[in-house]
Amino acid sequence: MASEVSPQILATPRLRFAPVEGAAELFTPTFVDYLLRLHDEFTGRIHQLREKRAETLKKAHEQGIMPAHLPVSRINTEDWQVPPVPQDLWEPGIEISGPASITHMFINALNPGPDGTRAEGDLDDDEDSARHCLSDTVTATWNRLGAVQRRLTFRDAERGRQYTIAAGELPFFMHRERGLHLDEPEVTVDGAPIPASTLGTALTLFHVGREQAARGQGIYFYLPKLESAQEAALYRDLFDASRAQLDFLRGAVIKAIPLIESLPAAYQMEEMLYALGPYGAGLNAARWDFKASMFEYAMADPNAVWPDRFGVDIKTTPFLANIFRRLVAICLKHGAVPIGGMATPLPNPDPEVNRVAAEAIRADKVWEAQQGFIRGWVAHIFHMKPAADPFKEIAASGWKPTPEMADPNNYPIDIKVPDGPITMEGTRRNARMVIEYVEGWLNGRGAKGIDSLAGRPGLHPALMEDLATGRMSVAQIAQRILHRARDCQDPSQVHDFPVVKRLLQAEVDDILVRLQATIRNDRDKAAYAQAEVRYRKAVKIAMRWIKNYTELNFRSLGSYTAVDLDDIAAADDPF
């Protein structure tokens, strides 16, 4: 949850920051000077890029002009190569993903799983699985620093558990900071919030990067939410400026991999990779945010209403599969690393549920490996082996992608409405997802295990969901309200605000009944009382979020402070 804006510490006459624990030790005079130089050089440019995003979205909504390829150029026709990619980034296997600010989870991610499998890489996240606030960014910085130094520990006094980093080679670190669309209100320059992407990247380069460079490690970043080559070029210039200002970075290896998780980015993959210059290393095929972006760009089009998103599988939806294949082809063509998507199932007490989940994960990763991806992501150490093995097995077999797989022209982008049903059940699952996710956000978590089929028959593990899930679920609900979509099984059921409000209320009631059934003692009773407050607030916030989307206002949940969310929860229902 974004934290309440607090009284700020005066670091310099220009820069102030909230008195978050651990921040003062990071905001040293030398760091503040570096941060201010980055701010002065790049903040105006970031604001201009945000305006260009808004213009592109407005054209889609008002004129039906959707994102498209850039004009034919040397960049998207010739066989140029990215600079050599470090060998560790070519390792087949899996990357474990999770919030770098939750210390015990971060330590677990760096360690072997129950079967001894250790991830090749660690996506240490300060973006959509975190809370989008200064305290998380500061904690993430300290945790990353402690992990690189191999001194990070955590004591869970309540459970009597000690967490330490196990012996052996650590996964390489893939740092993910917040995107260009967000500011950090708890750090201000000349009275205005600093872009969160600048702050996070600067903290990582200055503090964590120093330690990594001293150890000969590469400093690697995932770049989330990019929408254009111009935005990729900004990161190139930011890395260049950082090298110029920080002596210890001048000989360091810095690499970046854009996440292809917006519709415009899909049309500029080659240009984005090229724009990163010496820092370009690969591309990542995101899933949930990419779907959310497609919803947002098509939100005003009554002919683009999607079926239940739960049945839209990348593997079996040809136009989506082709976008993934195109990404791989571009990487193969230019000597870059293609990284696949996320496996989100969480472990379950029922071994049969775990078996079914492992089979589904393996099938998904077999498909990705067969498309040419080097690695994918996984959300929990329990499932690292079924997620990693397909990539390792195909690499060990000697299989190589065919020349046809390295030609992006074989995989044109042709956005369509997927086949499938529009049902109230699909909307109900989205509603439950949003309520559960927002409750977790209010409880200080950016990622939460959620089962949208809780209480339904069948084997279905909870899935680790982050902000992308909330965004995608809200977008689908809003699209259906906006165009009064009918249930294909019962056309008399029409999506509108009253129907969605009833669904939200029914779901929160069901959630609370199930939670109340777990009360065993006074401690559980007190925890339930707190959770009930959060869940009731979550419904109000979910309604506000949905209403915003129907008004073509796609403001991120991560942009709200705690005060903002309390105000929404205290106000009249948005619908």
CA atoms within a 13 Å half-sphere pointing along the CA-CB vector of 551: 10
SS in 3 state form for 98-126? EECCCHHHHHHHHCCCCCCCCCCEEEEEC
Closest Cα to residue 330, out of 272, 385, 249, 278? 272
Closest Cα to residue 449, out of 347, 308, 558? 347
Q: What one-character-per-residue DSSP string does 334-378 give?
A: HT-EEEEEEE-B---SSHHHHHHHHHHHHHHHHHHHHHT-SEEEE
Contact of 348 with 54, CB cutoff 8 Å: no
Contact of 542 with 560, CB cutoff 8 Å: no
By DSSP bridging, strand 15-17 and strand 183-189 are antiparallel
Closest Cα to residue 8, out of 192, 180, 179? 192
Secondary element (H or E) of residue 451: none
Q: For residue 90, what are its two tokens?
A: 């070519």
How many whole angstroms separate alpha carbon 46 and alpha carbon 523? 48
Closest Cα to residue 242, out of 272, 280, 198? 198
- Which residue out of 124, 289, 466, 487 is catalytically annotated? 466
466 carries an active-site annotation: yes
124 carries an active-site annotation: no
Q: For residue 382, what are its two tokens?
A: 């329990």
- Which residue out of 176, 432, 471, 544 is catalytically annotated? 176
24-49 in b/e form (b: 16+ CB < 10 A) is eebbeeebbebbbebbeebbebbeeb
Q: What one-character-per-residue DSSP string does 392-437 give?
A: HHHHHTT----GGGG-GGGS-----PPS----HHHHHHHHHHHHHH
Closest Cα to residue 224, out of 164, 292, 168? 292
List active site positions.
176, 466
